[in-house]
A and B are shown apart, each in its own frame.
Chain A
Amino acid sequence: MTRTSLLSAVAALAALGASLAFAAPAPSPVTPELVDAANKDGKIVFYTAMDVEVAAMLGKAFEAKYPGIAAQVERSGAERIFQRVGQEYASNIHAVDAIDSSDVAHLLYWKQQGMLAAYRPDDVARWPHSARDADGFYAANRATLSVIGYNTKLITADEAPKSYADLLDPKWKGKIVKAHPGYSGNIMTATFELSRALGWDYFKKLGEQQIMQVQSSTEPPNKLALGERPVMFDGNEYNALIVKRRGAPVAVVYPSEGTPLVSGSAGVMKDAPHPNAARLFISFLFSREGQQLLVDNGQLRSFHPDIKEPADRVPLSRIKVLTADPAEQEKAIEEIKRKYAEYFGT
């Protein structure tokens, strides 16, 4: 047997073993052994596209629960994280332990590249099937809506837009802020869903409204709060609700055509430098405690069945939502970017 064929045989065996082992991932509880091993790791590096304050708070809550482990949270846009991880892995740098992206297609890609480890925390066993990977490599740790919003000091509830169609009214020319699908995974998903629901012709007309173009989907609610523009076309519901709770004059609208639902997913890296801490962190993230934290302080939507819904927001069951098939979306990315550049100039 030559060296090459030996290697490929070993690889094939390993792949077979891997696929057998991961075919039906057993839910993993948090055992004292895991906590011990995680304490030995001493550190966890989490790349995330979540809002920076929510992510920092999650890290601090984890550190409070497991004082022996430092949580290093690295926040950036989903597309940039994707680019950065690609660069790092191409150079054999394995810095990241656990990863979260608002674009589920990224998790799918990392899984296909063999970069993720199969790990299903026991809470995820109770997740809806549509919100988790069948092989246990990742699951949706959060969801949010891409909503319309307005500044209540600048316009009244009566004047405010009720639907996407309303935003084409010439009176909103120069008054709308909007995030970019080339930067934000959330907006990429929302744009995909809306292009299917409303048609590209709608975006062509929106392009004539002189929108203010920002990058991240966390940014438009903040621009609303500042009063820089009175209306936002898209942006995260959770950021809008956070700034609203802080007393900013911001209100959220669930448009009559339907509101794009965007979920973010997370998983453990196969070559994580702190593998046990990574698993413990992911278990914490998906636990009722971690999820309730994201819901209460981060205003995110959760798939955990035991979550207590905050009284001051509309429950998901009462909102008409638009959803996307990740595989279809991945095929449409080029089209979305091209059309977007054509209609909006950047």
Chain B
Amino acid sequence: MTLAALPRRARLDLSIPVLLALALLLCALVLLPLGCLAWYGITDKNGALTLANFALLFSERTFISPFVTTLGIALGVALLSCLVATPLAWLVARTDMPFHRAVRLLVMASFVTPPFLGAIAWEILAAPNSGLLNQWYRALFGLDPYAHLFDIYTVEGLTFVMACYAFPYVFVLVANALERIPAELEDASSILGGGRWHTFRRVSLPIVLPSLLAGALIAFLQAMTQFGAPAILALPAGFHVITTKIWSLFQFPPQYNLAAAAALPLLVVSVLLLWGQSWLLQGRGYTVIAGKSGAPRRIPLGRWRWPALLLAFAIVALPVLLPYAALLKATLVRTVSEPLTLSALTLRNFRFVFLEFSATRLALTNTFILGIASATAGTALALVAAFLTARRLVPGARLLGFLATAPAAVPGIVLGVALFIAYTRPPFVLYGTLWILLIAFVTIELPAAYQQLQAALSGLHPELEEASRILGATRLRALRQITAPLLRSSVVATWCFIFIGAIRELSATILLTTADTKLVSVIIFDLNESAELGAISVLGIALLFITFVTVAIANRLPARGRAGTVP
């Protein structure tokens, strides 16, 4: 290398300014809406300072009870997700269970499914009277018309549905962590006399724990700030969670200040959670990819191989197989609760969606464009932010990490309002364009993307980057040539993650779309209000298809700079 021969100072290292600029962008992206939110929370309609919003919030029963319900549900979702995802991830990532790739694909499918679509599908399956499962139950035991086994319109039903579409977060993180455990660490434990269980508890589990906690945290925050599934399942049951309560404050005449105040406690809860997480993990950093490490090995299950597969399929039936079977049925018939007979079959739903309904094509195009754009911008931003904090390259790196995680605490619907306030007046008139949705999606997806890349980066020893730096590369070049390729699977995963997130997003979108910037999620929600289950199902299945094709292409992109860089 000729460059390395030059004296260091003679070369211009743009890394620090570029990194700083991105840090500033991050601040703007996150602080602007949060600032708006805080300001609205402590003022009244006329802009005068007041604490009246909070006084109302903590004294009125109609506010306290949604808070309590929301926290209970979020906790339930996080626990349920961990309980299901951890064994499933272990089976898929570390054992010789047959068809583990198929199981992973199905988990992927539940990840891709927007929770509101899942909620609609579970309405078809488990509504107390018309639900298909309840119909079968009545037919099987010859019970009277109103007897039912499941009632999806309950707190438990909502928790279950939200866990169905939150557990993949935990699964992905834990499975990735399990795959990164080098076999020699486990071998060392066995050689030293540790049994399989001992090895798992003392070696594997501690390595996986940060990812498990990160996953639980994301599941909790997702459940706490989600709007779609509660709007579909909680309102018919006659109870509110905090997001639907906030949404009801936007109905005419809107009470923005109260809504902002109601969102602030969510922010406090997530700050406490993040703080708790870092406290728990103190001094438990494990570097698993260093300059030299071996590949993980699959554990033979012996005669438990097939029972394990059965268990795995039973788990993925709940978020994927049953709901999509229900949606598929809904696409083919007029009334989904009717028996599936030849005479009931119709193409009406397809005709309606693709020929009669004028919003379809525009919404599909917009959704696709936005998905790609948010995924690309979001991944770049999250990678830089994670790099800065993991390597502590700028002062206040911890603060930056907090900033990147903070939007997780802002319900999409509140972010929607904040962005609406910020970008409807000069100099930034973005409302009515796809840009405002892009900003919303990047901001919303940043925390999870950042967490994921940060977790991957902390498992990556800096010695490889240092080697590159010693050979004369700048920080940016080291990031591009060494770190990014090593993180390739994490980077692609993050990209897909944001793409999927953008497709799933509804709560901010619903306030920020106009006739020309309509998305599939919004038309599904609008159609749900008129109970057009057939049309919803057609669109939902189209969405799944688009996502799968995109993700498959993303995963097959040639690995740039991979050959020759990594030994």
Contact = CB atoms under 8 A, between A and B. Distances in A.
A289 interface: no
A128 B235 CA distance: 39
B130 A226 contact: yes
Nearest to A223: B531
Interface in B411-455: 420, 424-425, 429, 431-432
Contact of A57 (B146, B248, B356, B526): B356
Interface stretch (B91-99, B102-110, B329-337): B329-337
Interface stretch (A8-16, A27-35, A91-99): A91-99
B515 interface: yes
A248 B335 contact: yes
Interface string B103-141: 000000000000000000000000111100000000000
Given A72-B515, A93-B431, A345-B238, A79 B251 contact: yes
A129 interface: no
A212 B153 contact: yes
B462 to A, nearest CB: 47
A51 B358 CA distance: 14
A227 B130 contact: yes
B239 interface: yes
A83 B252 contact: yes
B250 interface: yes
A128 to B, nearest CB: 29
Contacts of B432: 88, 91, 93, 95
B278 interface: no
Interface string A34-73: 0000000000010100011100110110000000001111
Contact of A52 (B62, B129, B238, B530): B530
Interface residues of B, number: 48
Interface string A201-236: 000000000111111101100110111111000000
Contacts of A82: 252
Nearest to A210: B238
A88 B529 CA distance: 22
B293 interface: no
B359 interface: yes
Contacts of A218: 529-531
Contacts of B335: 225-226, 248
A87 B127 CA distance: 36
B424 A246 contact: no
Contact of B515 (A45, A174, A210, A345): A45
B334 A215 contact: no
Interface string B528-546: 0111110000000000000
Given A213-B236, A218-B531, A346 B358 contact: no
A153 to B, nearest CB: 9
A71 B420 contact: no
A47 B531 contact: no
B123 to A, nearest CB: 8
A222 B112 CA distance: 28
Interface string A158-194: 0000000000000000110000101100000000000
Nearest to A342: B62
A219 B130 contact: no
Given A79-B252, A83-B252, A226 B337 contact: yes
A191 to B, nearest CB: 14
Instruction: Bin chain A's interface residue count.
Output: 35 or more
A84 interface: yes
A21 interface: no
Interface string B500-521: 0000000000010011101000
Interface in B220-272: 235-240, 244, 248, 250-254
Interface in A294-346: 333-334, 337, 341, 344-346
B233 to A, nearest CB: 11
Contacts of A88: 431-432, 514
Given A227-B129, A228-B127, A346-B240, A91 B424 contact: yes
Contacts of B514: 84, 88, 93, 95
A346 B129 contact: no
Contacts of B431: 87-88, 91, 93
B356 A154 contact: no
Contacts of B336: 226
Contacts of A174: 146
Contact of A56 (B237, B337, B358): B358
A288 interface: no
Contacts of B429: 91-92
A216 B236 CA distance: 12
A76 interface: yes
Contacts, number: 135
Contacts of A1: none
B78 to A, nearest CB: 26
Interface string B8-52: 000000000000000000000000000000000000000000000
A222 B334 contact: no
A77 interface: yes
B127 A219 contact: no
A297 B251 CA distance: 32
Nearest to A227: B130
A138 B385 CA distance: 54
A324 to B, nearest CB: 18
A257 interface: no
A182 B337 CA distance: 29
Contacts of B240: 345-346
B356 A83 contact: no
Interface in B485-507: none
A137 B358 CA distance: 27
Contact of A346 (B238, B250, B253, B352): B238
Contacts of B511: 87
Contacts of B530: 51-52, 75, 216, 218-219, 222, 239
**In this complex, which of B335, B424, B429 has the most chain A Cβ atoms within 10 angstroms of its Cβ?**
B335
Contacts of A216: 529-530
A94 to B, nearest CB: 10
Given A229-B129, A346-B238, A52 B334 contact: no
A341 to B, nearest CB: 7
**In this complex, which of A84, A91, A213, A225 has the most chain B Cβ atoms within 10 angstroms of its Cβ?**
A91
B527 interface: yes
Interface in B264-306: none
Nearest to A90: B424
A248 B337 CA distance: 11
A194 B366 CA distance: 43
A228 B252 contact: no
A74 interface: yes
A129 B310 CA distance: 70
Contacts of A227: 129-130, 337
A309 to B, nearest CB: 25
Given A70-B358, A93-B432, A180-B235, 8 more contacts: A56-B358, A71-B358, A76-B526, A83-B254, A95-B515, A183-B529, A226-B127, A228-B130
Interface of A: 45, 47, 51-53, 56-57, 59-60, 70-77, 79, 82-84, 87-88, 90-93, 95-96, 154, 174-175, 180, 182-183, 210-216, 218-219, 222-223, 225-230, 239, 246-248, 333-334, 337, 341, 344-346
11 contacts: A60-B356, A74-B359, A79-B251, A95-B514, A95-B516, A212-B236, A214-B235, A219-B529, A219-B531, A226-B127, A248-B334
Interface of B: 62, 127-130, 145-146, 153, 235-240, 244, 248, 250-254, 334-337, 352, 356-359, 420, 424-425, 429, 431-432, 511, 514-516, 518, 526-527, 529-533
Complex A-B, nearest 3 residue pairs according to Cβ-Cβ distance, in ascending order:
A222-B531, A226-B130, A228-B130
